[in-house]
A and B are shown apart, each in its own frame.
Chain A
Amino acid sequence: MTSPHPIAAIAGILIVVLSLSAMLIWVERRLLALWQDRYGPNRVGPFGLLQVVADMIKIFTKEDWIPPFADKVVFVIAPMIVMVTVLLSFAVVPFAPGIIVADLNIALLFFLGMSSLGVYSIVLAGWASDSKYSLLGGLRAAAQMISYEVFMSLSLMGVVLLAGSFSLTAIVEAQKRLWFVVPQFLGFTLFLIAGVAEARRLPFDLPEAEAELVAGFHSEYSGMKFGMFFVGEYLGLILISSMITVLFFGGWLGPWLPPIVWFAIKMFAFICFFILLRASLPRLRFDQLMSWGWKAMLPLALVNLLLTGAVVLAWK
């Protein structure tokens, strides 16, 4: 397959990913409803699909209010950071052979770095809002995402050891014979949990925690700035699903169907799984979250790394 022009690739991925994240609003509401024996939005257009358009019109026409006590510059910049970092991460995701913006040889590190930078958005939003609920949400986000970042990257090192490369394309190519989910099942589980925490989805949505913190770090946000956090969350969900697909489920690899279709199927399955998690699991308490991360997940990630290293060393 010939590589498309870089600009075309960027524009294509941007449009697809952004409209996909908008569609996820509808997908999530319908799926949650399905699992709660309801229907969800089914009135606007066929199957309620135009609900997305209605939601977008609503969010664009809402008053975009900056509270007078907020730190204005930071308040405005914060929601942009989450969009930018997540969208930049998509640059290294190989959707199919040739459909990739930048095939970096350190793509995995780039992804990890970008997801770390994403924390700034949440922390700064909580800080700039100058309200106690937002600040608590920001604090929680900082603690949670830094602790989950640690074993997130460690859980991926097993994959790197097996593939012998940080390049995502090389990692996918290395799964031609066997998907990494089989030899790296522990790593996959750890990355899945860390991914949920990283995307701030239930049961790890403590920075938002609408039951205790109003809306957490985005309590004071309205209009399109709130919409950016919202879209950023869904983009993060798509990103984590794509990364799981690439790292553990063989990316675009699969028989008969075109590569991009295989990628989309796998990615969508994981998006549905994340929504299923939201439908079924209650939110953790914050101390449980921290001890779970440091006392259970981190040692397991280290053990996984040790075992994988030993096996690889013995094999070679």
Chain B
Amino acid sequence: MRSLIRTIWNVLLHTFHKRVTIQYPEEKPYLAPRTRGRIILSRDPDGGERCVACYLCAVVCPVDCIALQATEDENERRYPEFFRINFSRCIFCGYCEDACPTYAIQLTPDFEMGEYNRQNLVYEKEDLLIDGPGKYPGYNYWRVCGEQIGGKDKGEAENEAPPVDLRSLLP
């Protein structure tokens, strides 16, 4: 009986407690920088696309919402011809970000993507590409990888030793 009265009293005291509800449209919640929200494609510090169209994101995607087509430019640099994310299927799991070898695909703290028309949730490459490097400033895949492209020969990447001459007998 005493516990009952104490329960009632304690609940009554909640009249003076702060309410936990966040009044959403007027009051925005704090979103951590690593919140998994809207997906973007970032660029390297030089302004080139980071995506090398390796298809890893499309393969790892559990709901198959990523579609892309690889192609090469005149410098033999791979890039996606089109890159399409269907956000009406996306579950924001972040696997694509984990799978990406070049930090190109990233999830951002933005979730306000409501649409009346389902078609509008299909984002094309120009909708996804942003102008900056996103969460990884200073990283440029093509400058650190050993891949040979136009304008950058073997051994010219950062921290890369010059190529070994296989035909020489000298040590």
Contacts and interface: CB of A to CB of B under 8 A. Distances in A.
B19 A39 contact: yes
Interface in B35-82: none
Most buried by B among A36, A37, A276, A280: A280
Contacts, number: 33
Given A34-B15, A279-B11, A280-B11, A39 B23 contact: yes
A218 to B, nearest CB: 27
B15 A281 contact: no
Contacts of B15: 34-35
Contacts of A35: 11-12, 14-15
Contact of B18 (A36, A37, A279, A281): A37
Contacts of B14: 34-37
Interface string B8-26: 1011101101111101000
A50 B33 CA distance: 39
A196 to B, nearest CB: 12
Interface in A23-73: 34-39
A279 B12 CA distance: 9
A36 B18 CA distance: 10
A277 interface: yes
Contacts of A34: 14-15, 19
Do most interface residues of chain B lie in helix, strand or loop, or is the interface mixed? helix
Nearest to A42: B23
B11 A276 contact: yes
Nearest to B19: A37
A277 B12 CA distance: 10
A279 B17 CA distance: 15
Contacts of B20: 37-38
Contacts of B21: 37-39
Contacts of A39: 19, 21, 23
9 contacts: A34-B14, A35-B12, A35-B15, A37-B14, A37-B17, A38-B21, A39-B23, A280-B8, A280-B10
Interface of B: 4, 7-8, 10-12, 14-15, 17-21, 23
Interface of A: 34-39, 276-277, 279-281
Q: Report the 3 A-B pairs with minimum CB-CB distance, sorted nearest first.
A: A280-B11, A35-B14, A280-B8
